[in-house]
Amino acid sequence: MVDRIVPHFHNDAGVGVIEIGAREFMCVGALPPFDHPHVFLDMGGDTEIICPYCATLYRHDPTLAPNAARPPECALPNAETAPSLPSPATPTLPSPASGGGWGGGGGG
């Protein structure tokens, strides 16, 4: 079970540096549908890290909340990071008895 949400950030504005309050986070590049693969980045003991996909420079600022960014529009709200998906349903395949046969031929 997940005990915390990993903050997500983007650089849709194309700024040179994004200051963030987290050391572990996800970079999505730009806002969907123009996002790149969502990559997990971990600064470890460093104060800066560059995203290998979009080359955005992220700088840790301990005065910011973990999900906050400067500029603030670069923080992706939680609602956008985990969209609601319909629950998976068991697919229903047509059966030959229902007339939807698998070969399309009249069975004979």
Domains in the chain: boundaries:
8-78
Average pLDDT over residues 20-37: 96
Q: Do the beta carbons of residue 21 and residue 65 sit within 8 Å?
A: yes
Lowest mean pLDDT across 8-12, 63-67, 68-72, 78-82:
78-82
Superfamily of domain 8-78: q5lls5 like domains (2.60.260.40)
Per-residue pLDDT at 5: 86
pLDDT digits (tens, 9 = 90+) for 34-63: 999 999 999 999 999 999 999 999 999 999
- Which amino acid does the sequence have at 40? F
- What is the sign, positive or negative, of the torsion defined by CA atoms of 69, 73, 78, 83? negative
Contacts of 107 (CB under 8 A, 6+ apart): 96, 101
Per-residue pLDDT at 108: 54
Q: pTM score, two decimals?
A: 0.70
**Banded pLDDT at 94 (limits 50, 70, 90):** low
Per-residue pLDDT at 103: 55
- Residue of 38 and 81 predicted with greater confidence: 38
